[in-house]
Structure formats: structure tokens, C-alpha cells
Structure 1
């Protein structure tokens, strides 16, 4: 319960956050941005809601075969006509029409999303020249799917990213729903893309391995989107970030004293890695996923200590090597 006694008034927390957050430059590199990269985002919700007949939907399924196969899971239907009939019934539902109208009102223009994604893709291609720009679609999923990210295609369920006070909300826990705001959208996509480059040792099933995996993933997002505040990468509020930085020494002591780094029990690992409103093994005031946050700090120290380029960092699959060579020590609050 020690973490509870370390909570300070909001003004102090915000000051601690400003001092504690990793001090990386937020200026985008003009040499990276100058490279040519064309990204067009197709707003499929418009095309699908304009369709009025089964024939119209069959045409769209044929026009976007990858979307039909991966996102709509066409293989689960006996025929394209069957899927088209199902889509027609869904899109004629009055609630779906209201949801579509809400999305159009909230996202009449997505040029800012396109700009941020384009810049992120340029950064990825700079570090990983084999990266190929995927097709990007937006859609209204009926709150059934937030994001689908593959090497070839990205589908954004815009209805998941309506404001938190909107009457339509996804059926997920409140603490998770708060992360489905527009500023989280592109970082979430980049985080998903990071898995393509995040090498792991499948034989290592320790908590440390999980911590380093997520630490590399968050480090990847910050490298690709250097102007993005940490809160939109890990999904902590500024107050939660302030508290974790201010209590980093205590958090690290908890992991060391309880010999958690080499824990292999999945139930124990989930306490520190899995989605939860708080890390109750430490305190009900401690945000969830503290193992991921701690892994991020370790990875950052490893990169800074050894000046490892991003591709080399992502290829390093030995969590023990990263930990030992990081020289990690908790930062003491100033």
C-alpha cells in the first residue's frame, strides 16, 4: 500500500510528469519526411452505406476482395450472395444508420489521420526499407471491430473512436474505452505494426520476456512518432504517468523483492502485464500493465546505454541481454 501514500496534489503530479516523461525531441526529421510515399485512405463506410441492393454489396465484395476475405470473413458464408444479403440487412438497420451519421459528423475529414499515418509510414520505411505501404480503409463496424492490421491492409473501425460521451460506446471496460479517443488511433496502429519487427525467443516464457517485448513495442512507437506524448502510446493518463515515475523506485523494489522477473506462472505474469484497471498486487492506486511500463524504461535505457539502432533493437530476441546491458536503475524523483 506504500504507493497510496506517495500520491500528491494534481499540480505537483503534473510537475512530476513534466520532469519524469522521457525527454525525447518531438521535431520530425525533414530528411525522413522528404521521401516520397503515397497513402490513400478509402472510406468504405460511405460506399457500403450507399449500397441499396444485394447486387450492390456483391459488387463491393468483388471490388475489395481482401477486405471481404480478412475483415468480413467471407469464408464463413456459403456464398458472396449470402454475405451480401447479411450486409444489406445490417446496413438498413436504423441504429446502424444513426451510428454511421455519428461517424460522419465526428470524422467529416480525416486528413489529419492521413497526415500522421503518412509520416509514421515514412519513419518506418526509413528504419525498415522493406516496409510496404498497406492499403488503409475506414469502416463503421457496428462496434464489432476497432482495428485490423496486417502487412497488406489496415481497417479502422471509426465508430470505436467516437467521443467518450457519445451515446454509442463499445462493450468494453470503462478504463479501456477511455483509450479509444482520436489521439490514440495512429499510435495504436503503429503499435500493432511493431509486432512485425519485434523478435522474441519462443522458449522464454518469463515475465521479463513479456516486459521487454512490450518495452520494445512502446519504444518502437516513440521512435516512429517522436512527437507523440507517452500517454497516447501506453494509455496512461498524465496523472498516472506522474505517479508511476514518482514511484519508480518502489515499483522496481516490488519486482526485485518478490523475484518476479523470472516468474513463469501465467497467472502471476498476467497481474503485471494483462489489461486491468490497476495493478492490485502493488496497489489499487497503481495503473494496470505496470510490467509493460517498466519494460519500456528498461528498453529505453538499453538503447541509450548502447546507442543501438532501432532495427537492431527490434531484432534482439534475448530479453536477458537487453536487461543486463541496459544498466537500468529507477529514476529518483527530483
Structure 2
């Protein structure tokens, strides 16, 4: 019970901090020298790219690397069909067009992590993994105590063709500037 409360408080804190950073970040914004001096090399695991590129023979390697993304109740045939699905392939291409090497977003995440590290130096920083979530806009970002999952397909731009069936007030938030 106590652990769950701590996890919930951490979720609230990280979410609030992320919103504050994104809202207050401007090109002329200055980074506090102590925060800028924190050495941090953030590794972003691009599961979305790895899944799109994996062959059927190497699916087990990917499943071992990301076991939390492959529920045991789903057989390999589900993942093999998803790999061959033309809609999934188109979604991957759109993610690549929108984000490319992900360096801009990685820099913003590094700044966020520097702030968290500055204010909470003992806090373990969650591992960042990007995914394609079938445009699950209700779960764009999932934060756990060890993972930060980011559904990149939820940030392709408010007028993107994949969002045509989504209410406009929801689609308005489906832009990478809100990531």
C-alpha cells in the first residue's frame, strides 16, 4: 500500500514537472548553471524502430530485450501478423518522417532528467523506450518506476490522416510539440 502511494506520488510529480518544463521552455530560456553542469547521457531505446526492422527469425531476441512489451498470453503469430500489417508499416513510416533520429526530443528529455536528478539525486531515472501504440491517445506516455514508454504515433500532428476519426479537440493535442 505504501509502495503504491509512493509510485502514484512519483507519477504525479513527473507529470507535473514535465508539463512545467514543456510549458515554460522557450528558446531564450536559460538553464541554471548547476543543472546544465549535470553530466547525463540518456539512452533512448527505439523499440518502434527495432520492431519494424526485426525479422521473424529474430523476434525472440527482441522479446528477450523487451519482455514487458510482449504479454505471454499472445502467441508469436500475433506479432508476426502485426509486423506484416500494412497499416503498421505505414504508421512506422509516418513516425520516421515526424521524428527521424529523435535528437530534438532526446535533448528535451535529457533536460527533464537533469532537473529530476538535480532535485532528487537519489531517484532512479526511468529508462526511456519509444513505441508505436496503435494511436492509443489515452495512454500517450506511460511512466512506471523503471520505465518511461512514449507512444510516438500519438504525436504526428493534429491534422494527420491517421487522426481523421478522432474528435478535433483530442487531435489538437496529438502534436510533437506536446511531447
TM-score range for the pair, normalised by the shorter chain length = 0.7 to 0.9
Which residue number corresponds to residue 106 of structure 2? 114
Please give the secondary structure, in 2, of the residue aligned with 1:156: strand
Deviations 1:222-280 (A, max 9, x none): xxxxxxxxxxxxxxxxxxxxxxxxxxxxxxxxxxxxxxxxxxxxxxxxxxxxxxxxxxx
User: In structure 2, how many angstroms separate the alpha carbons of the residues matched to 1:161 and 1:170?
Assistant: 14
Check whether the contact 1:147–1:156 (CA below 8 A) recurs between aligned residues.
yes
Q: Which of 46, 49, 58 lines up with 1:46 in the alignment? A: 49
User: In structure 1, how many angstroms separate the alpha carbons of the residues matched to 2:173 and 2:123?
Assistant: 27
Check whether the contact 1:143–1:170 (CA below 8 A) recurs between aligned residues.
no
Check whether the contact 1:135–1:153 (CA below 8 A) recurs between aligned residues.
yes
Deviations 1:253-309 (A, max 9, x none): xxxxxxxxxxxxxxxxxxxxxxxxxxxxxxxxxxxxxxxxxxxxxxxxxxxxxxxxx
Please give the secondary structure, in 1, of the residue aligned with 2:42: coil
Check whether the contact 1:45–1:140 (CA below 8 A) recurs between aligned residues.
yes
Check whether the contact 1:121–1:133 (CA below 8 A) recurs between aligned residues.
yes
Please give the secondary structure, in 1, of the residue aligned with 2:161: coil
Deviations 1:98-156 (A, max 9, x none): 11111111111211111111111111111112222211111112213522111211111
Indicate the RMSD between aligned Cα atoms, in angstroms. 2.3
Shift of 1:170: 7.9
Which residue number corresponds to residue 64 of structure 1? 66
Which residue number corresponds to residue 172 of structure 2? 178
- Structure 2 alignment gaps of length 5 or more: 1-22
Shift of 1:92: 0.6
Shift of 1:173: 3.2
TM-score (norm 2): 0.76
User: In structure 2, how many angstroms separate the alpha carbons of the residues matched to 1:152 and 1:169?
Assistant: 30
Label 1:170 to 1:45 Cα distance change in 2 as closer, same or farther (>3 A).
Answer: farther
Please give the secondary structure, in 2, of the residue aligned with 1:168: helix
Task: Tell me the number of residue pairs that the alignment of Structure 1 and Structure 2 aligns.
Answer: 152
User: In structure 1, how many angstroms separate the alpha carbons of the residues matched to 2:174 and 2:145?
Assistant: 23
Q: Which of 96, 120, 126 lines up with 1:104 in the alignment? A: 96
Check whether the contact 1:39–1:133 (CA below 8 A) recurs between aligned residues.
no
Which residue number corresponds to residue 157 of structure 1? 151
| Equivalence map 1:94-243=2 (5 Å) | 94-144=86-136, 145-169=139-163, 172-185=166-179
User: In structure 1, how many angstroms separate the alpha carbons of the residues matched to 2:31 and 2:167?
Assistant: 35
User: In structure 1, how many angstroms separate the alpha carbons of the residues matched to 2:164 and 2:177?
Assistant: 17
User: In structure 2, how many angstroms separate the alpha carbons of the residues matched to 1:131 and 1:170?
Assistant: 40
Shift of 1:172: 4.5
User: In structure 1, how many angstroms separate the alpha carbons of the residues matched to 2:126 and 2:135?
Assistant: 23
Structure with a larger share of its residues in strand? 2
Provide runs of 4+ in structure 1 moved above 3 Å. Answer: 170-173
User: In structure 1, how many angstroms separate the alpha carbons of the residues matched to 2:111 and 2:143?
Assistant: 17
TM-score (norm 1): 0.42
